[in-house]
Amino acid sequence: MTLNNSWTLGTAVLVVSIMCVTQTGTAQDATKTVQDTKIAAALQQVSAQRIQADVEKLVSFGTRLTLSAQDPSSITAGRGIGAAREWLKSEFERYSKDCSGCLEVKTDSFIEQPVDRIPAATEITNVYAVLKGTDPGQVKRIVLVTGHYDSRNSDTLDVKGDAPGANDDASGTAVSLECARVLSKMKFPATIIFLTVAGEEQGLNGSRHFAKMAKEQGWELEAVLNNDIVGGDKSTGQDHSVIRVFSEGVPAAASEQDVKRIRGLGGESDSGSRQLARYIAEVGRTYDAGVKPMMVFRFDRYLRGGDHYSFNQQGFAAVRLTELREDFHHQHQNVRSENGIEYGDLPKFVDYDYVTHVARLNAATLASLASAPAPPLNVRILTKDLENDSTLTWDASAGAASYEVVWRATTSPEWEHTQSFANVTRATLKLSKDNVIFAVRAVDAAGHRSIAVVPLPER
Ligand SMILES: [Zn+2]
């Protein structure tokens, strides 16, 4: 069956349908996507009150510096990273209770030996909840959302002083929690992990350990959404309608041979992370999250980094979501007033509606990915013969009912055109591969799309 612009779905609504007739005659605008009404309804459950309560609770632990107290008495007293860790666990467990134990709540604990910002051996604990996929053929596929629950003030070694970390990164932690609370009420073919990591401020220690574990255990981790500084600081100049999505171009994990191929084919803007960013941009057009993704084609802000990098280093697609305009008086600062300026990362600077919108965008992305078929594997473009048509082949994806070949001009940031194909594993288009960039994505019967996969050349 070839889908065209007149197809309709029982539970899906055609959101945009701009026909764009190209030389193939049946190509459509690639921005046409379908909304899943169950996902749209779930987004309404994301609560600003819950997010505010989560951020304020995290701030109430005084400091969440990775080096701060985590002994039993500090946990009882409710001060330090140990108390925050125990509370996160109890929150995930509470959500799990509400869905008859649908979440597996886990910790990933290890001892980090002394390094620059860790003067003495320190136990670091990542806390996470797993919502297992319901399709045995897809349960191994994983999509993940994360935020870091550790915080710091002006001095990364100050174990005693307050470090409220409301925006950086109780906001991102709250996004992970709220996605878990809302999405645990639904079922998806693939698995979703809701992660909160520690050690970010000391050198990405928690995420590094977790990403290595995922790699070593051969996880089929398809997407990582790292939310760090998503509080929408209220200072002048902020734009609460936009969230930045940073993605790497040439992958951190690319081998020398990969880089050679990327250079040869003009693939500098086609990493897995970049495809994930495009996916988020499309989700942002499909669902009304209240905030629009602004893709930044750069792995992070100038000379700065975050937990997505740990995943990129292990070869996983991972992006960073961050508010548009950061206020540096409110990050990594002791709480104080100087010359009329208020310093410190306090809850009063966080815009909870904004965090709610960001959480909705995350939830829509996770739900869409976990509902979609697996991205096609072994996508190839045939290059044996010199010709002006382009033929692509791929392996069938679990859960796919059809496939789409998407393409764009080599100078375009996003997929511009799409052509649907029935449940086949080969397609020929009347377009020259020399002039455009192609990719293939799998589509299920309800219209959920996988991430697009660019082909490797096959001689
Ligand atoms: Zn941060």
Cα(228) to centroid of ligand 1, in Å?
5
Contact 448, 373 (CB under 8 A): yes
Q: Of 208, 154, 176, whose CA–CA distance to 338 is shortest?
A: 154
Cα(77) to centroid of ligand 1, in Å?
25
Residue 175 has pLDDT above 80, yes or no: yes
27 band by pLDDT with thresholds 50, 70 and 90: low
Q: How far apart are CA 349 and CA 233, in angstroms?
A: 5
284: buried, middle or exposed (CB in 10 Å: 19+, 13-18, 0-12)?
Answer: buried
279 band by pLDDT with thresholds 50, 70 and 90: very high
Q: How far apart are CA 35 and CA 426, in angstroms?
A: 27
Cα(204) to centroid of ligand 1, in Å?
10
Cα(145) to centroid of ligand 1, in Å?
14
Cα(149) to centroid of ligand 1, in Å?
9
Cα(229) to centroid of ligand 1, in Å?
6
Residue 170 DSSP one-character state:
I
pTM: predicted TM-score of the whole model, two decimal places: 0.93
Cα(374) to centroid of ligand 1, in Å?
31
Question: Tell me, what's the pLDDT at 459?
Answer: 86
Question: Tell me, what's the pLDDT at 362?
Answer: 98
pLDDT single digits (tens) 206-245: 999 999 999 999 999 999 999 999 999 999 999 999 999 9
Q: Where are the alpha helices (DSSP H) in 266-405?
A: 272-286, 307-313, 352-371
pLDDT single digits (tens) 311-323: 999 999 999 999 9
Question: Tell me, what's the pLDDT at 351?
Answer: 98
33 band by pLDDT with thresholds 50, 70 and 90: confident
pLDDT single digits (tens) 366-395: 999 999 999 999 999 999 989 999 999 999
Cα(115) to centroid of ligand 1, in Å?
19
CA–CA–CA angle 373, 292, 172 (5° rounding): 80
Cα(55) to centroid of ligand 1, in Å?
14
Cα(175) to centroid of ligand 1, in Å?
13
Question: Tell me, what's the pLDDT at 7?
Answer: 32
pLDDT single digits (tens) 116-170: 999 999 999 999 999 999 999 999 999 999 999 999 999 999 999 999 999 999 9
Cα(168) to centroid of ligand 1, in Å?
5
Cα(65) to centroid of ligand 1, in Å?
12
Cα(148) to centroid of ligand 1, in Å?
7
pLDDT single digits (tens) 411-459: 999 999 999 999 999 999 999 999 999 999 999 999 999 999 999 999 8
Question: Tell me, what's the pLDDT at 32?
Answer: 57
Q: Is 157 left (phi over 0), alpha (psi -120 to 50) or beta?
A: alpha
The helix or strand, by DSSP H or E, that contains position 12, with its residue range, turns out to be strand 12-14
Cα(160) to centroid of ligand 1, in Å?
19
Cα(230) to centroid of ligand 1, in Å?
9
Cα(305) to centroid of ligand 1, in Å?
9
348: buried, middle or exposed (CB in 10 Å: 19+, 13-18, 0-12)?
Answer: exposed
Question: Tell me, what's the pLDDT at 13?
Answer: 37
Residue 449 DSSP one-character state:
B
Cα(169) to centroid of ligand 1, in Å?
5
Cα(172) to centroid of ligand 1, in Å?
8
